[in-house]
C-alpha cells in the first residue's frame, strides 16, 4: 500500500493510501458518477478550472476531479509505490 501523498496536479495532493481507482472521465457511467457525487456533496474539483482529464475515487467514496491524465496519475502512483518498497 503506497504511503504519503499523490500529486494530482496544480499543487493538489491526495492521500495515496485512500485511492481506490483512477479512471478516464469520458464514459457515460463516469459522467453519472460525477453528477451523483456532486448531488451528494462528495465531489472535490481539483482541476483549477481546467478540463477534467481523470477521476479519482477514494475509499471514503469521494470523487476527485483532476486536470492530469489518468495514465500520468497511474504512473505517479506506481512510482510512489516502488519508492516505498511495496
| pTM of the model as a whole | 0.91
pLDDT tens-digit series, residues 22-65: 999 999 999 999 999 999 999 999 999 999 999 999 999 999 99
Instruction: List alpha helices for the chain, DSSP H.
Output: 28-39, 70-83
Please state, in angstroms and rounded to a whole number, the distance separating the CA atoms of residues 80 and 86: 9
Q: So what's the pLDDT on residue 23?
A: 97
Amino acid at each position: 500500500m503506497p504511503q504519503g501523498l499523490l500529486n494530482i496536479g496544480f499543487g493538489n495532493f491526495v492521500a495515496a493510501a485512500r485511492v481506490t481507482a483512477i479512471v478516464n472521465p469520458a464514459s457515460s457511467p463516469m459522467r453519472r458518477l460525477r453528477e451523483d457525487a456532486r448531488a451528494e456533496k462528495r465531489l472535490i474539483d481539483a482541476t483549477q478550472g481546467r478540463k477534467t482529464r481523470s477521476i479519482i475515487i477514494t475509499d471514503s467514496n469521494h470523487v476527485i476531479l483532476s486536470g492530469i491524465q489518468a495514465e500520468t496519475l497511474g504512473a505517479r502512483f506506481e512510482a510512489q509505490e516502488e519508492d516505498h518498497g511495496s
